[in-house]
Amino acid sequence: MSNKQPLSTEPYKGVHDYYPEDWSKAQAIFNVIRTTLRKSGFEEYQASVLERAELYESKTSEEIVNQQTYTFVDRGDRKVTLRPEMTPTLARMVAGRRRELVFPLRWFSIGNRFRYERPQKGRSREFYQADVDIVGIEGAKAEGEAVVMAYEILRAFGATNKDFRIRMNSRALMNAAANALSLNTEDSASYLALIDRKDKMPVEEFESSRGTFRRNGTDPLELIEARTDESVDAVYRQFMALIDSLKARGMDNVVFDPTIVRGFLYYTGLIFEVFDTNPENPRALLGGGRYDGLVALFGDEPVPAVGFAIGIETLTDFLATHNLLPALPPPADIFIGTPSEANIANAQAVASMFREHGLNVLVNVSNKGLGDQVKEAVRRGVPYFVAIGEDETKLKKAKLKTLASSEEIEIGTDLIPAHIYKVRSDGA
């Protein structure tokens, strides 16, 4: 308590405070995601935000590791990183119990991730993501299920197929094209990086840069388009079959987009991203892909895995743009006012009875007059108000006020919970 200079009330740079209204909004979004995933038998896991730094070195994207991780040395000289993404942690946990776990795993995790980026709209240094993964199934079956889950989540918020577009690509297809052209590993990686930056550079620069990767006048993207190579064509047709199966399930907003690359180095098959069709939100809402090699980094054989991450901030922007933010519950169902301090014990007894019926109840404990207590209930957004004084206690009757309409009815105190539930179900 020795500080003289007042402390700043600002949070650490680039992160958010979640006041109750903000957190309630975030939790409502988490809950739609959670409920949708649980309907398909997905189970939630969690891990510490602290990870050994080596988990990311030369696995995650180089940009993230070199420029964006929060990495420090702890009091015991260990190099620690605040997780910038969840997938390496998932792979570590799967590898740690691969003999005991019942495969396939359908796992998800909702939590915070950390990247030291320049703070801007939809991009904070601590941000929330939902990570969804299917582990232990090879091929298109699991890839299809992953894309379906992403689709189902957005639909669960009330989004229609017109509101978003699912862009799918395949690292396997890219690799087949690069192989057919005999590009070496380094050139393949550079080519992917070039495609990834495509939208951030002038067309002329892109066109001149891609020249380096042409063999016999063709680069991988051009070969995929032309499909003059048999092996490329085989992978292409397999991938189109996956896309067609999704379209057959009503997902007419799925498109093949060979320019989708994604930054992470560990993808091996499908990669996909979902975008808002409204250009106001140009960043991907979610993205993911297949990463069959990641679990094997912990020793033992590879385990097939496919998954995606939803960025909660970009998702929130999407939902707000399309007017799809979930409705929020009030901080309490009813506010019990007290004419004087002497009534507080009685009010608390009534509150206990209401709570036993499942209601959330605020009881006045201030010395304010009843009028000011009603105003407080209104400011808090509580829908009902009832005052419990001596008469109400004696007669077991009270005036229940609906604050939105200022309507008041006289009602037996013990009938209030049933009345509130009835009005609520009639309105629903």
Within residues 273-302, the interface with a second copy by CB under 8 A covers 293, 297-300
Q: How far is the CB of 47 from a second copy (least distance, A)?
A: 5
User: Residue 359 and residue 362: Cα distance in Å, rounded?
Assistant: 10
Based on CB atoms, which residue is closest to a second copy, 222 or 376? Answer: 376
Each as own residue / partner, the long-range contacts of residues 5-9 (CB below 8 Å, 24 or more positions apart, any chain) are: none
Phi, psi (degrees; rounded to nearest 5) at 106: -120, 100
Site string for a second copy, 307-346 (x = CB under 8 A): ------------------------xx--------------
Q: Does 423 bind a second copy (CB under 8 A)?
A: no
**Window 347 to 366, contacts with a second copy (CB under 8 A):** 351, 355, 359-363, 365-366
In the list 29, 59, 86, 303, the residue contacting a second copy (rule: CB under 8 A) is 59
Q: Does 399 bind a second copy (CB under 8 A)?
A: no
Rg (the chain; Cα; Å): 28
Residue listed under structure tokens 């997938």: 87
Stretch of 2-10, 234-242, 252-260, 306-314 lying at the interface with a second copy (CB under 8 A) = 2-10
Specify the 3-state DSSP secondary structure of 353: helix
**For 55-174, where are the E strands, in sequence order?**
70-73, 79-82, 105-114, 126-135, 164-170
Residue 68, judged by CB atoms within 10 A of its CB (0-12, 13-18, 19+), counts as: middle
In the list 93, 135, 181, 319, the residue contacting a second copy (rule: CB under 8 A) is 93
**Window 193 to 212, contacts with a second copy (CB under 8 A):** none
Q: Does 120 bind a second copy (CB under 8 A)?
A: no
Site string for a second copy, 132-171 (x = CB under 8 A): -----x---xx--x--------------------------
**For 247-325, where are the E strands, in sequence order?**
254-256, 270-276, 286-290, 305-311
In the list 25, 28, 30, 116, the residue contacting a second copy (rule: CB under 8 A) is 116
Q: Does 58 bind a second copy (CB under 8 A)?
A: yes
Residue listed under structure tokens 């030291």: 116
Stretch of 57-65, 194-202, 303-311, 317-325 lying at the interface with a second copy (CB under 8 A) = 57-65
Q: What 8-state DSSP symbol labels residue 215?
A: B
In the list 30, 70, 206, 256, the residue contacting a second copy (rule: CB under 8 A) is 70
Q: Does 241 bind a second copy (CB under 8 A)?
A: no
Torsion of the alpha carbons at 289, 293, 299 and 301, rounded to the nearest 10: 110
Helix residue ranges, H only, 342-407: 344-356, 370-380, 390-395
Give the dihedral sign, CA 31/32/38/42.
Answer: negative
